[in-house]
């Protein structure tokens, strides 16, 4: 799952008491995301290829994924892409231990799904960079287009998110872990390429990852 936590922070806030005297229970456990409809994702991919003539280089395959780790977060962040200018996401090298879950690649494509597991957009990765948590800069934080877009907000919300999700995976995590080679933050920038009515203009030049 692509990791973008700032919206989740607001989703987790309890609603104000409406004065009716009823006790409101707010769950702190994220709802489970449903299985992805991979047949529908394949149809969207085939439509993209047929309409644009794009043929991925070599044996490069597309990935299918959600933003975040809950239905609410998946939809909120997807909306930032389709109706806003969110064009970046961050993840941890620690999250790619399964051979079936390959690392992002420059020029690679992925299909982002909504909270029901249905494909919504095809994205193309345009730039990748590895860094420590503390070396993520304000420009990248702004490109993620979440919360107030500040670097302080990015650090605060991503630290909370990754501590929570890594704990759910049975691991302790702290920002200092990203100083270890092979455990860095992956900064990913992307462009929207399909459907046509949502696609960005001419893509920027692809940028090789820095380490």
185-194 and 109-113 beta bridge pairing: unpaired
Question: How does pLDDT run across 139-166, given as a tens digit for each residue?
Answer: 999 999 988 999 999 999 999 999 999 9
Question: How does pLDDT run across 160-209, given as a tens digit for each residue?
Answer: 999 999 999 999 999 999 999 999 999 999 999 999 999 997 654 444 44
pLDDT(211) > 80: no
Banded pLDDT at 60 (limits 50, 70, 90): low
The SS3 assignment for 130 reads strand
Domains of the chain by start residue, with CATH? 31-196 (3.10.400.10)
Beta bridge partners of 189: 88, 127
Position 183 scores a pLDDT of: 97
- What is the spatial distance between Cα 187 and Cα 133, in angstroms, rounded to a whole number? 10
Tokens read off for 49: 């290829």
Position 14 scores a pLDDT of: 37
111: which residues sit within 8 A by CB, 6+ positions away? 41, 44, 45, 62, 63, 64, 65, 119, 120, 121, 122, 123
How many CA atoms are closer than 13 Å to the CA of 139, on its beta-carbon side? 4
């Amino acid at each position: 799952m692509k990791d973008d936590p700032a919206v989740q922070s607001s989703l987790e806030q309890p609603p104000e008491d409406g004065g009716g005297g009823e006790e409101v229970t707010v769950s702190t456990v994220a709802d489970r995301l449903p299985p992805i409809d991979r047949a529908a994702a394949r149809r969207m991919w085939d439509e993209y290829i047929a309409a644009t003539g794009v043929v991925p280089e070599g044996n490069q395959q597309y990935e299918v994924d959600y933003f975040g780790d809950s239905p609410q977060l998946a939809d909120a962040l997807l909306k930032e892409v389709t109706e806003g200018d969110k064009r970046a996401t961050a993840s941890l090298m620690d999250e790619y231990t399964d051979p079936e879950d390959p690392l992002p690649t420059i020029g690679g494509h992925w299909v982002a799904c909504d909270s029901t597991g249905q494909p919504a957009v095809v994205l193309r990765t345009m730039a990748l960079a590895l860094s420590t948590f503390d070396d993520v800069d304000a420009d990248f934080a702004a490109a993620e287009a979440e919360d107030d877009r500040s670097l302080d907000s990015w650090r605060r919300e991503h630290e909370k998110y990754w501590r929570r999700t890594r704990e759910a995976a049975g691991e302790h995590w702290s920002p200092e872990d990203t100083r270890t080679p092979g455990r860095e933050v992956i900064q990913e920038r992307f462009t929207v390429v399909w459907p046509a009515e949502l696609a960005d203009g001419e893509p920027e030049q692809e940028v090789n990852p820095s380490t």
